[in-house]
Amino acid sequence: MSERSVRMTVNGEVRQASVEPRLTLADFLREKCHLTGTHLGCEHGVCGACTVMVDGAAVRSCLAFAVQADGAEVTTIEGIAHPDGELSAVQAAFRDCHGLQCGFCTPGFVVSVTAFLRDNPGPSDEEVLDALSGNLCRCTGYQGIIRAVHQAAGTLREAAGA
């Protein structure tokens, strides 16, 4: 089958490659861009480990083909920290609150939570649980992750107020 050329901005950098149409966005990021922070758990939309932002919206990168993201702006876990390497508020909160153990699920959680708190800076407990429902973690038991979301929300609100 014929390859197609795709071009997208990934974490601010233009990436271009010739790809098979069946190459998922996740595999494009991992194999063509060598950005292996985007993890693949289930590859059919259930676990959330592969979550990235496409034009600002958190989506499953295993449920999109790279060709569909032609022209898009993509943010992966590698693009979440500040340019000088300082952790983002969400990342720092995950560390502080023991929101991770093995870390396999963490990129998906951090990207999802980053998008969620941008759209809903003052979430209720229930809204936080709802937002986290699309990401699975086999290690932490979720309590640390839930605390991390609340802590990050507080930090971000303070920063916005300051």
Ligand X SMILES: Cc1cc2nc3c(=O)[nH]c(=O)nc-3n(C[C@H](O)[C@H](O)[C@H](O)COP(=O)(O)OP(=O)(O)OC[C@H]3O[C@@H](n4cnc5c(N)ncnc54)[C@H](O)[C@@H]3O)c2cc1C
Stretch 22-81 residues interacting with ligand X (CB under 6 A) = 45-46
Cβ neighbours of residue 156 under 8 Å, at least 6 residues apart?
89, 117, 121
Closest approach, Cβ 86 to other proteins, in A, equals 26
110 backbone dihedrals φ, ψ, rounded to 5°: -65, -45
Characterise 4 by phi-psi region: left (phi > 0), alpha (psi -120 to 50), beta (else).
beta
Nearer to ligand FES, 78 or 104 (CB): 104
Q: Give CA–CA dist 65/145, Å, rounded.
A: 29
130 interacts with, out of other proteins, ligand FES, ligand X, none, CB within 5 to 8 A per kind: other proteins
Question: Residue 57, interface with ligand FES (CB under 6 A)?
Answer: no
The half-sphere exposure of 140 on its side-chain side, counting CA atoms within 13 A, is 23
Q: Give CA–CA dist 45/22, Å, rounded.
A: 16
103 interacts with, out of ligand X, other proteins, ligand FES, none, CB within 5 to 8 A per kind: ligand FES
Residues that bind ligand X (CB under 6 A): 45-46
Residues that bind other proteins (CB under 8 A): 1-2, 4, 20-22, 24, 27, 42-45, 48, 51, 57-60, 62-65, 67-68, 70, 112, 116, 129-131, 133-134
